[in-house]
Amino acid sequence: MSILIDENTRVIVQGITGRQASLHTKLMLEYGTKIVGGVTPGKGGLNVYGVPVYDYVEEAVKETRANASIIFVPAPYASDAIYEAINAKKYGLSLIVIITEHIPIHDSIKFINYGIFHNVKIIGPNTPGIIVPEKCKIGIMPARVFRKGCIGLVSRSGTLTYEIAYELYKHGYGVSTAIGLGGDPIIGIDMLEALLLFERDMDTRGVVLIGEIGGDMEERVAEYVYENGFSKPIIAFIAGRTAPPGRRMGHAGAIIIGDKGTVESKLKYFRKADISVVEKVSEIPILISQLI
């Protein structure tokens, strides 16, 4: 088992004829992901590495029976592509992975709400994607740092996820599923939702949370764990201990988030919830050997 995707997930690539998208289509195919179709308006009938290209999502989903989409469409056009994907829910599409970065926040706040309303799971925007080693990769992460194993990996960062997956790899540990939540302020699946998916996953014996300063996602996870407990060990890493303070969002930011968002706050909440926090990456495999 795994979370959200598995070896049967059938994927379409939106924006497939773009430079990054076609490169990663090739890499995902090589990994074994069932890439069944692609969409680029006006390019229907072509094929990319043997994958048929369609003009619109409904057509692609109906023809290929895809149930997931990965979006590479450039930011100014991404919103349109995402609504198109959400509206294909009635044809069976239920997961959207948004790789695109720099999508305006007023766009993402709308399509994220639209996705929630239509019960379509969204990962991202600005995510490296999701990977179940040896089974399925829907994303842009370098596959070779992910080994199959029993650790669930949830991360707010892209490249830092690769760093930590590689650290696990070097020490003989692997991941059940690794999910990058996306680096944007407004994202679909958040840290708590991912954690709860891992709680139900039989293949996951422990979870590594990779957080960073800003926002209060880590605090909300800690509050949940404090109140409800969690059946598997959790190890957390927070990036940004030395980071300069971020941009102040006027008084409004302070009113909404209070004292949360800083490294100190996140550490305090994790401590209260009895979640182990490591200071450097190399401590993660050591702690895994003790806890899991």
Partner 1 sequence: MSVEKREVEFFFVKNLDELKRHVFEIFSKNIAGYNIEEVLVEEMINIRSEIYLSFTIDRGERKYVFMASSIGGIDIENIAKEKPSRIIKIHIDPLIGLLEYQVRKALKKLSISDIHRENIRNIILKIYNIFIKYDCELVEINPLAISSDGRIYAVDAKIILDESALYRHRDLIKMVNYIFRKYSYVELDGDIGIMSNGAGLTMATMDTVKYFGGKPANFLDIGGGASADAVKNALKILLNKSNVKVILINILGGITRCDEVARGIIEAIDESGMKKPIIIRLMGTNEEEGVKILLNKENIIIVNNMEEAAKKAIKISRE
Residue 215 contacts partner 1 per CB under 8 A: yes
Q: Is residue 204 within 8 Å of residue 10, measured between CB atoms? A: no
From residue 103 to residue 122, what is the string marking binding to partner 1 with x (rule CB under 8 A)? Answer: xxxxx-xx-xxx-xx-----
Nearest approach, Cβ of residue 167 and partner 1 (Å): 9
Residues 234-263 that bind partner 1 (CB under 8 A): 237, 239-244, 247, 249-256, 258
As given in the structure block, the two tokens for residue 43 are 């390019």
| CA-only gyration radius of the chain, Å | 19
- For residues 255 and 252, give the distance between their C-alpha atoms in angstroms, rounded to a whole number: 5
227: exposed, middle or buried (C-beta count within 10 Å: 0-12, 13-18, 19+)?
exposed
Question: Of the residues 24, 102, 106, 251, which is catalytic?
Answer: 251
Q: Return the amino acid letter for 280.
A: K
Alpha-carbon distance values, 185 to 62, 69, 125, 214, 217 (Å): 33, 22, 9, 9, 10
Q: Which is nearer to partner 1, 61 or 136 (CB)?
A: 136
Residue 32 contacts partner 1 per CB under 8 A: no
Residue 172 contacts partner 1 per CB under 8 A: no
Residue 194 contacts partner 1 per CB under 8 A: no
Task: Give every CB contact of residue 72 below 8 A, 6+ residues apart in sequence.
Answer: 13, 14, 15, 16, 18, 20, 21, 24, 99, 100
Residues 137-166 that bind partner 1 (CB under 8 A): 140-142, 145, 155-163, 166
Residue 133 contacts partner 1 per CB under 8 A: no
Asked about 251 being catalytic, the answer comes back as yes
Residues 49-108 that bind partner 1 (CB under 8 A): 75-76, 99, 101-107
Give the closest residue to 154 by CA, choosing from 243, 238, 230. 238
Point out the residues that are catalytic.
Answer: 251
Chain residues in the site for partner 1 (CB under 8 A): 20, 24, 75-76, 99, 101-107, 109-110, 112-114, 116-117, 128, 140-142, 145, 155-163, 166, 183, 185-186, 210, 212-213, 215-217, 220, 237, 239-244, 247, 249-256, 258, 279-282
